[in-house]
Amino acid sequence: MVDIFQTDNKNTPQIDYDYTGKLYGNEFVGLKFEDGKLKINFPLGYKPSENEKDKRKDILNLISVLSSYNEHKDSYIKKSDQKKETDAEFPIHAYLFIINNFLNNGYYIEREVLYKRGNTGKINWNRTIKQIRPQVDENDNVVYLEFITRKTNYNESELITLIHKYCVYESFSKIGFLFSSFMPQKSPLIYNANLFKSIIKTKISKTFNEKNQHLFKNMLDIINYIDSNGEDKTFHYGTEHFEHVWESLVDTVFGENDKEKFYPKCNWVIFDDEQKEHEINYQNDIFRKYSLRPDTIMITGRGTTEQKIFVLDSKYYRYGVSNGTYDLPGSDSIIKQIAYAGFIEKGESSIPKDVCNNLNKEEIYNAFILPFNKKTNEEELKCFGYAKTNSNEGNKKYHKIYGIMLDVKSIMYRHIPRDKQMIEQLADKIEKAVNK
């Protein structure tokens, strides 16, 4: 097994790190490898570690989060700065799998099991009893003078092994520096996409071992990518819409699974030629188009007399980095938050019964969640103020939308579904601000 995270990596490309972002974070977040130079764009507030070993862990963490939360179109990988329909998506899962599998198991080698008569090797008693006639000694004991023994023949020249070597080298040449300073030998095979695909597909169809099938399928993903993208080392992996990832992160850690039941619904009523009203009933995706959708509904003490409801709106804005008031959520976001909370306060029929039966109109709260980079002695969550409107100041708790900064690195490393500890911390932070 090769040592992981060695720091003397001679194959490490020149790496640039960036985590500043633009006003709404609408720039590329992820990995770009061009002209032998790797650029890592971290999201707003995510400052990479100083230690080289930890930096590599940060990169792997970034890859993990992007892989978990990006929609297919947001994970778009392109060869140039301008997206093209013909560009192929970089199969980073396959590359990571091939590297990890190799570091733990080495090259895939075909094994052929042979059976023969002899006295050396592992005895196969079932075959021995069926094929060998035993001898009887003078004490009437049954004695076998020969056995059927098992021998495993390893054939390293098999084509599938050489294709695996090709995939291992290809994987290490692109992202192997994240794991080790080791660089495997290049396969002697000349790249032949059709031949490689044919061999791998045959192995997949004839293999019943799940681990080997998984290996072959990842090999096939790599060959398909090379076939579509060429053998160019240039690759991008990431998204220009990290705000969607940010929303998903916050929703995973803090949110209820049935948040769609808390959506205020909007419908159109259309007049016919006789001026009669006809209400349009929207379904599925079209229905959601005409719904106000809060990013996250967080509930503590759900279904009990201690129940408290928090409407959270995740804003991937620069305020936690810039401290500029121009980087704060605007009036439209503020008014929508109040509308969400007002809908919940009414106890509409779509809201789950266990919530409605314990609804306390005085325990509904609003908050914006923005990214920031906490200092060494700071907490992961930090309340920096609140937003309000002049029309309903002070009437309800949810009329003030509290601004909460959340440490990006902390949530990206944890992103535990409904993290009880973080939920309690956030609820406590908002309640203390309300009662201040």
Least confident of 53-57, 65-69, 111-115, 275-279: 111-115
What are the phi and psi torsion angles at 327 (to 5°)? -100, 20
Contact status, residue 337 vs residue 362, Cβ threshold 8 Å: no
pLDDT at 71: 54
Please give the sequence-ordered ranges of beta strands (E in DSSP) within 303-430, or none if there are none.
308-314, 364-372, 381-387, 401-407
pTM for the predicted model, two decimal places: 0.77
| Tokens at 436, concatenated | 């201040």
Contacts of 233 (CB under 8 A, 6+ apart): 33, 36, 173, 174
> How far apart are alpha carbons 146 and 202 in whole angstroms?
38
Element (H, E) at 96: helix 92-105
Taking phi over 0 as left and psi of -120 to 50 as alpha, with beta for the rest, 21 belongs to left
Contact status, residue 29 vs residue 43, Cβ threshold 8 Å: yes
pLDDT at 34: 75
Contact status, residue 299 vs residue 262, Cβ threshold 8 Å: no
pLDDT at 80: 39
Contacts of 144 (CB under 8 A, 6+ apart): 128, 132, 134, 135
**Residue 402 above 50 pLDDT?**
yes
Helices (H), 313-352: 319-322, 331-345
Please give the sequence-ordered ranges of beta strands (E in DSSP) within 142-295, or none if there are none.
142-143, 147-155, 235-239, 269-271, 277-279
> How far apart are alpha carbons 48 and 38 in whole angstroms?
15
> How far apart are alpha carbons 157 and 142 in whole angstroms?
43
Contacts of 4 (CB under 8 A, 6+ apart): 103, 179, 180
Beta bridge partners of 309: 299, 364
**Residue 351 above 80 pLDDT?**
yes
* pLDDT tens digits, 422-432: 999 999 999 99
> How far apart are alpha carbons 140 and 143 in whole angstroms?
9
pLDDT at 88: 60
pLDDT at 354: 95
Least confident of 228-232, 301-305, 375-379: 228-232
Give the three-class secondary structure for 150. Answer: strand
* 138, HSE (Cβ side, Cα atoms, 13 Å): 0
pLDDT at 3: 33
Residue 155 pLDDT level (bands cut at 50, 70, 90): low
* pLDDT tens digits, 219-251: 999 999 988 876 566 778 888 888 889 999 999
Give the three-class secondary structure for 114. Answer: strand
Least confident of 59-73, 200-214, 303-317, 390-404: 59-73
Amino acid of residue 8: D
Nearest to 266 by CA among 293, 296, 298: 293
Residue 118 pLDDT level (bands cut at 50, 70, 90): confident
Read off the pLDDT of each residue in 80-94 and give the average, rounded to a whole number.
Answer: 61
Higher pLDDT, 410 or 72: 410
Where does residue 269 rank: exposed (0-12), middle (13-18), buried (19+ CB within 10 A)? exposed
Other residues' Cβ atoms within 10 Å of the Cβ of residue 214: 14
Amino acid of residue 9: N
> How far apart are alpha carbons 389 and 412 in whole angstroms?
33
CA-to-CA dists, residue 155 to 123, 152, 208, angstroms: 22, 10, 20
**Residue 1 above 70 pLDDT?**
no
| Tokens at 246, concatenated | 């940010």
* pLDDT tens digits, 39-81: 888 998 898 888 888 988 999 999 989 888 765 444 443 433 4
| Tokens at 156, concatenated | 């390293």
Q: Cα 172 from chain centroid? A: 21
* 243, HSE (Cβ side, Cα atoms, 13 Å): 15
Strand order in the sheet with 122-123: 110-118, 147-155, 122-123
Read off the pLDDT of each residue in 335-340 and give the average, rounded to a whole number.
Answer: 91
Helices (H), 106-176: 125-131, 159-175
Q: What rounded mean pLDDT belongs to the chain?
A: 82
Read off the pLDDT of each residue in 8-29 and give the average, rounded to a whole number.
Answer: 59
Contact status, residue 185 vs residue 169, Cβ threshold 8 Å: yes
pLDDT at 215: 96
pLDDT at 83: 46
When computed from its CA atoms, the radius of gyration of the chain, rounded to whole angstroms, is 30
Read off the pLDDT of each residue in 375-381 and give the average, rounded to a whole number.
Answer: 90
Least confident of 48-52, 153-157, 236-240, 298-302: 153-157
